[in-house]
Amino acid sequence: MNNSAQQIRQQFLDFFKSKGHQIVPSAPIVVKNDPTLMFTNAGMNQFKELFLGEATIKYPRVADTQRCLRVSGKHNDLEEVGIDTYHHTMFEMLGNWSFGDYFKKEAITWSWELLTEVYKLPKDRLYVTVFEGDDSEGLPKDQEAYDFWKAFVDEDRILLGNKKDNFWEMGETGPCGPCSEIHFDSRSDEERARVNGAALVNADDPLVIEIWNNVFMQFNRLKDGSLKTLPAQHVDTGMGFERLVRVIQQKTSNYDTDVFQPMIQFIAENAGIKYGEAEKTDIAMRVMADHIRAIAFAIADGQLPSNNKAGYVIRRILRRAVRYAYQTLGFKAPFLNQLVPILAQQFNGVFDELYAQKDFVQKVVLEEENSFLRTLENGISRFEKMEEISGEKAFELYDTFGFPIDLTELMAREKGLTVDMQGFEAELQKQKARSRAATAIDTQDWVIVNEGDETEFVGYDELESQAQILKYRKVTAKGKEQYQLVLDRTPFYAESGGQVGDKGLLIGEGEEVAVIDTKKENGLFIHFVAELPKKLEANFVARVNPLQRTSTENNHSATHLLHAALKMVLGEHVNQKGSLVNDEVLRFDFSHFSKLTDEEIKEVEGIVNEKVRANIPLKEERNVAYQQALDSGVTALFGEKYGDFVRVITFDDAFSKELCGGTHVKATGQIGYFKIVAESAVAAGVRRIEAITGAKAEAYIRQQDELLKHLKEILKNPQDLSKSVEALVEENSRLKKEVEKAVSEKASGLKDELKAKATAINGVNVIAEKVALPNAEAIKNLAFQLKDVVNNLVLVLAADIEGKPSLTVMISENIVKDRGFNAGNMVRELAKEIQGGGGGQPFYATAGGKNVAGLDAALAKAKTLVEA
């Protein structure tokens, strides 16, 4: 195809390269370090700091293709996906940016040039929109943009739009500005002659769709809703790649392009249903082909499906797809996961993360499918038992069995039932309110103390520095107030890359404030304090707690050694999936499919400790060009966003070389000793190792040593501990057998003795005696044996078992039937004498109690009960 999706993407990048733009890689789809956003929802996300003036501009012109996800928060298209033909969960956004460089004129000129001259889209099918202004915000019409468009487009195809369509905002707060969209009319000439396309722009017509949005970034939306003018003006554009491919390939559905057809055809073949046969099955195929993209890229970028936050969003999308596959397409066994290899192949060379991890991703999807298919069936059988579907029941299906509410409704209709939707909504709101209350964080706007916006981080070289407060803000979470401080200079490492933030002190004029934690947010170093210093403008000394830092460094460097050792022992498929490093332990999650054997663990420990003893000096290189670092063979992590310049941490060039922003030991000897203390599974295909180092490892070994010593002492310091424990265990089991034998001999002796003591009362043979047997089991055996040899028996045995009274009643079945005797009732009555209680069956029952002295009275009572 001479206009394949691959080529169309490349033409976009080449075009903007020719206009002086730097081509940059996509950021991961999963967002870290930004509490306002779970997933990348637009190309501009990774440049947010540049718009806000919080970071230095390296390239004033940039272009890329960014993988985006719109399934939560301000931009949520999930309900449309698959039903319509142009909204996806995951899509590529092609974008070009100007950071304080060109503005409206160039943006408009170039977008027109690209669409009409490079892609040769027919001009008479294009419409553009311009912001009409908004009085309530005090914003004027965007006359400038209007005038630039006039140079290319007839005025009857330049349309004015309101704030909803023509003022773009990333989220509740953050960069925003007026925008100008480009729409494409793909209707037939006939239809176009009949109805003017202008009337269908932004009117949800599936054939007249927006393809590109040019945003002119001018403001920052603050928490109080007001707009603050940005320090400079920027251009942020976003073009939906799948929509662009569709209009260039002259299709009327994104799913008819070569982006989706390979997967759609694979699904259709396996389902034995043709795509295009029926709307219902078409939707199901579209949903599957779409959703697997969101799922696969989220997992490849490090977000595993789970039960909360971003992980739950992924799990829900996955279940939605599985439900369509199961119910509509008849896939009763896991199938979705089989789309992963096709997808990985398709994106190889574009987003390599997926191809590199395709086995892992497929395995995770398969496990998720398996587990949902289990609840899906259970849910269906639970549903079949329901006679009416209250809100609570619908919610149970949703919450416990993972049923989307629309599935419940559909199944209800089939059964001639309706769902109490209001009741369901109420339950859902209750749950939402619960989770909101648990996570609600109220963040105030920043208050400026000193000029400046960037923090100089000196913590790689120093643990103490002079500092001034630049700004602070108050945050309230779960009713607890805290303050966040930004300093002009700081030695405090901010939590990232799994390493916890530093703790320490901020020492001012005559006061000291404890820094409880340090975190990074959009590149800012944020110091958490419980109370603000009194003199905010003072000169401070910022001092990191050195002990905590050193122990943390031991664990971080050990993590690098562990990572390298795991690759050596298990293979190159080992990739980091998560890491936590603090001053107590290190926890390392990695892709691997089976439990580590004791041998493997020993081998890994051995390699790491050998590297510790070799006392390898740290090689730390700052500001290495990213590509150069990759070429030198560093381990880069999937799902991490790296800048153009990176820091490389090496312990022995041939062993461990990682991209890392963390703090490390000066030489590995400082780690002292490395000990793995746990190995477990965390998710499908992901193992976890927990380990300790330094003083912690020493304490652990000492503890083990003391335990051993103690054991030896108990055994009177034998020459060979293992042998004497084995002998002990053997002796113990031999003695046990002997005791059992003795007891059973004694019991059979007792049997004859008791049999002789049977007295006939009222036509039954009563035996009521105290026996000296050591446990309940032996008494029970005796009772059953007596029942076999004495007819018409009422047997009551009393015993003192290690100071506790016990009563057993056994009655022949014919006596139970003919005379209405009941062992359970009798034992309860007798138990009163020993201050206890019990029960059982009509022919056999037991009781325990507190008063051993009452046993004789109980036996006497037994006789009177039979006499009565």
Contacts with ligand ATP by CB under 6 A lie at 70, 77, 87-88, 91, 93, 168, 210-213, 238-240, 242-243
CA–CA gap between residue 53 and residue 605 (Å, rounded): 47
Smallest gap from Cβ 404 to ligand ATP, in A, equals: 19
Angle at 458 between CA 453 and CA 462, to 5 degrees: 150
Smallest gap from Cβ 652 to ligand ATP, in A, equals: 47
Which is nearer to ligand ATP, 75 or 567 (by Cβ)?
A: 75
310: nearest Cα among 621, 34, 708, 655: 34
Which is nearer to ligand ATP, 184 or 403 (by Cβ)?
A: 184
Smallest gap from Cβ 549 to ligand ATP, in A, equals: 43
- Is residue 62 a contact partner of residue 68, using CB atoms and an 8 Å limit? no
Smallest gap from Cβ 308 to ligand ATP, in A, equals: 24
Smallest gap from Cβ 209 to ligand ATP, in A, equals: 6
- Is residue 622 a contact partner of residue 661, using CB atoms and an 8 Å limit? no
Smallest gap from Cβ 243 to ligand ATP, in A, equals: 5
Phi/psi-derived region of residue 685, left when phi > 0, alpha when psi is between -120 and 50, beta in every other case: left
Which is nearer to ligand ATP, 293 or 471 (by Cβ)?
A: 293
Which is nearer to ligand ATP, 65 or 591 (by Cβ)?
A: 65
Which is nearer to ligand ATP, 221 or 520 (by Cβ)?
A: 221
End-to-end CA distance of the chain: 103
- Strands 764-770, 793-801: pairing kind: parallel
DSSP state of 496: B
- Strands 22-23, 61-69: pairing kind: parallel
Smallest gap from Cβ 660 to ligand ATP, in A, equals: 34
Smallest gap from Cβ 633 to ligand ATP, in A, equals: 37
Collapsing DSSP states into helix, strand and coil, what is residue 642? coil
DSSP state of 845: E
CA–CA gap between residue 862 and residue 868 (Å, rounded): 10
Smallest gap from Cβ 78 to ligand ATP, in A, equals: 9
Q: Token digits for 586?
A: 């290190």
Angle at 144 between CA 143 and CA 150, to 5 degrees: 85
CA–CA gap between residue 288 and residue 268 (Å, rounded): 11
CA–CA gap between residue 73 and residue 68 (Å, rounded): 13
Smallest gap from Cβ 553 to ligand ATP, in A, equals: 43
Q: Token digits for 362?
A: 């497929």
Identify residue 414 by its one-letter amino acid code: E
Smallest gap from Cβ 322 to ligand ATP, in A, equals: 21
Which is nearer to ligand ATP, 243 or 549 (by Cβ)?
A: 243
Which is nearer to ligand ATP, 31 or 665 (by Cβ)?
A: 31
Angle at 85 between CA 79 and CA 87, to 5 degrees: 50
Which is nearer to ligand ATP, 82 or 672 (by Cβ)?
A: 82
CA–CA gap between residue 505 and residue 541 (Å, rounded): 8
Identify residue 2 by its one-letter amino acid code: N
Which is nearer to ligand ATP, 41 or 765 (by Cβ)?
A: 41
Smallest gap from Cβ 92 to ligand ATP, in A, equals: 8
**Tokens 């992924």 correspond to what residue?**
314
In angstroms, the Cα distances linking 87 to 121, 255, 290 are 21, 10, 9
Angle at 788 between CA 782 and CA 794, to 5 degrees: 75
- Strands 837-840, 480-487: pairing kind: unpaired
Dihedral over alpha carbons 152, 158, 162, 168 (to 10 degrees): -30
Exposed / middle / buried, residue 122 (Cβ in 10 Å: 0-12, 13-18, 19+): exposed
Which is nearer to ligand ATP, 88 or 104 (by Cβ)?
A: 88
Which is nearer to ligand ATP, 183 or 592 (by Cβ)?
A: 183
Smallest gap from Cβ 74 to ligand ATP, in A, equals: 9
Residue spans of beta strands (DSSP E) within 321-463:
441-443, 447-448, 456-457
Which is nearer to ligand ATP, 145 or 782 (by Cβ)?
A: 145
The count of other CB atoms within 10 Å of the CB of residue 428 is: 16
Which is nearer to ligand ATP, 242 or 658 (by Cβ)?
A: 242
Identify residue 675 by its one-letter amino acid code: K
| Nearest residue to the partner ligand ATP, using Cβ | 240
